Structure 1
Amino acid sequence: MRSRELDPSVSPLDYYGYELRRAREGAGLTLAQLGSVVFCTGSLIGQIETAAKVPQRDFSERLDAALGTDGLFSRLVGLVLRSQLPGWFQAFAELEANATYISAYQCQLVYGLLQTEAYARAVLSVEQAERLDEMVAARLERQRVLKREQPPVLWVVLDEAVLYREIGGREVMRDQLANPLGLSGKPWVELQVLPFSAGQHTGLMGSFTLLRFDDHPDLHYSESYDAGHMTANPQLIRGRSVGYARLQAEALSPRESAALIARVMEERYGEQSGPDARAVA
């Protein structure tokens, strides 16, 4: 079957496929031969070469090792995965990746940078079922910013409701709540829970994120149903910064928050036995 010719200028995905075919043919390998080296089928190689399939990071790293491409595909895959994000979200993701301080308030879900793969898959499956693997990979790619030698400071305030909203089942929730606890010892991550007892508060209008940069104005980001809204308006930034400080003040301390999360993990999502066993709310 004749393979489709790609225009590498169309998209990062097309550019990746174009370079993969060029590197494979330069190495004198068939699709099947390269597939056997990187532990996948030749069909998958062909789909990626024709931009019919989105490559993953581990696949890209194996390609670089097999083809001796000096990290080319490991670098390209970040662009490819970011391009899979909704168009309205891509600009924020790029700015998030370059921020030095991230302050987030989340009233419904765990912040994206702290989501486990299973939790992210459950969240995204609601409206992205046809592109689920690509969207999950793109979300996990965002989290690589936390693995840098100098990651951004990340401060997250979660509404207590997030702990009780069961996403993906009890096991998924148990693992998800354990994830930020595992980061609690890192000096650049802080997590607080805003308890129900706080009553009315400055986050009642919904989730939002503040990004701070070394050499750019601060940025405020929020979302509606199908769009993201960013602004660097100084007055809005000042107001939301004060609002975020109030949320921090009304939230449980990081230590108290960790204790609450651990208790919810045990009481609501812990191992249960017996036919009538139920999680305790």
Structure 2
Amino acid sequence: MANIQSLDPTASPLDYYGWELRRQREAHGLRQGQLGDIIFCTGSLVGQIETTKKVPTRDFSERVDAALGTDGLFSRLIGLVLRSQLPTWFQPYAEMEAKAAYISTYQAQVVYGLLQTEEYARAVLATGMPDDLEGLVAARVERQRVLERDQPPLAWVVLDEAVLHRPVGGRGVMRRQLARLLEFTRNRWMQVQVLPNEAGAHASLAGSFNFLRFEDDPDIVYTEDVISGHMTASPETIKEAALRYARLQATALSVEDSAELIIRVMEERYGDCSQHEEHPVV
């Protein structure tokens, strides 16, 4: 195992976290196993986090703060650490998403990242065969904290009906994911519409896109291709995106009818998961 002292705490947020964890632990005269006993984990896990072999979780960070009396230090660091686990090309968008006052998104393939359950997110992210799947999952869950703010962004989500039928992760995973969507429909700041298959050709056959609005900054449109993401604040692109999104909203089922469709698909396609749980499809 690498020596934590060989790490450069300025190299990355994860390196700094590990370096600071060891510094604080030793300042309290604790061995890794002793700290592990206090925060209900193994000393091995403490050592792996100190040497950046494992990415810490928010729960781990909060327990360390409580055990060492570090006044929320690690709870503050963890957000930075987890954001750094996102793909480099995605980080600028994640930063803007966290600041947005209004989020509009059309998703043609999968549920929007902010609305994904952890197990659905794991199945989606696994398709890219990443080196650190759990780090990516933790980073996605961390992104969702924007919805837990006292004043979360107003969000309007249009999902292609195909998203509901695509069995990502298996029937049980999908049932729980659709139930999660229904929970969001009960929030006044979140609107979920489904674009039905019967709509045929529509205003965004070219693919998914996100539209972010801010209190003080210019609007942004975000799209992705196979290997990277693209943001633009071009007024012409913003105008075109706004027009296309308005057409999508007009073509989609109403919020109430969308909820009924989600319930119907959840019961008819993923209803009986008690007999067996399928292996992940993706």
Return the letter of the residue paired with 1:14: D
What is the aligned partner in structure 1 of residue 55 from structure 2? Answer: 54
Matches within 5 A, 1:167-186: 167-186=168-187
Q: Is the 8 A contact 2:4 2:18 kept in 1?
A: no
Structure 2 match to 1:121:
122
Aligned 8 A contact 1:128 1:135 in 2: no
What code does the residue aligned with 2:222 have?
Answer: Y
**Per-residue deviation at 1:28?**
0.9
Q: CA deviation at 1:43?
A: 1.3
CA shift digits 1:117-136 (9 cap, x unpaired): 11001111112353111110
**Does 1:27 pair with 2:44?**
no
Q: Which stretch shifts more, 255-264 or 122-131?
A: 122-131
Map 1:1-281; keep pairs closer than 5 Å.
3-5=3-5, 6-271=7-272
Distance in 2, Cα, partners of 1:64 & 1:36:
14
Aligned residue type for 1:222: T
* 1:87 partner SS: coil
Point out 4+ residue stretches in structure 1 off by more than 2 angstroms: 1-4, 272-275
- Structure 1 residues 238 and 58: alpha-carbon distance in aligned structure 2, compared to 1, 3 A threshold: same
Distance in 2 separating the partners of 1:45 and 1:256: 49
Q: Which blocks of at least 5 consecutive residues in structure 1 are unaligned?
A: 276-281
1:54 is matched by which residue type in structure 2? V
Q: Which stretch of structure 1 is more off in the superposition, 38-47 or 101-110?
A: 38-47
Task: Please tell me whether the aligned partners of residues 172 and 273 of structure 2 are also in contact (alpha carbons under 8 angstroms).
Answer: no
**Residue type of the alignment partner of 1:94:** E
Mapped partners of 2:274, 2:239: distance in 1:
51
Deviations 1:64-91 (A, max 9, x none): 1101111111110111011011000000
Distance in 2, matches of 1:120 and 1:39, equals 26
CA distance 1:201–1:27, shift in 2 (3 Å) = same
Q: Give the whole-Å Cα distance in 1 for the aligned partners of 2:250 and 2:27.
A: 60
Change (3 A) 1:272 1:98: closer
Q: Report the alpha carbon displacement of residue 39 of structure 1 after superposing the two structures with TM.
A: 1.1
RMSD over aligned Cα, in angstroms? Answer: 1.4
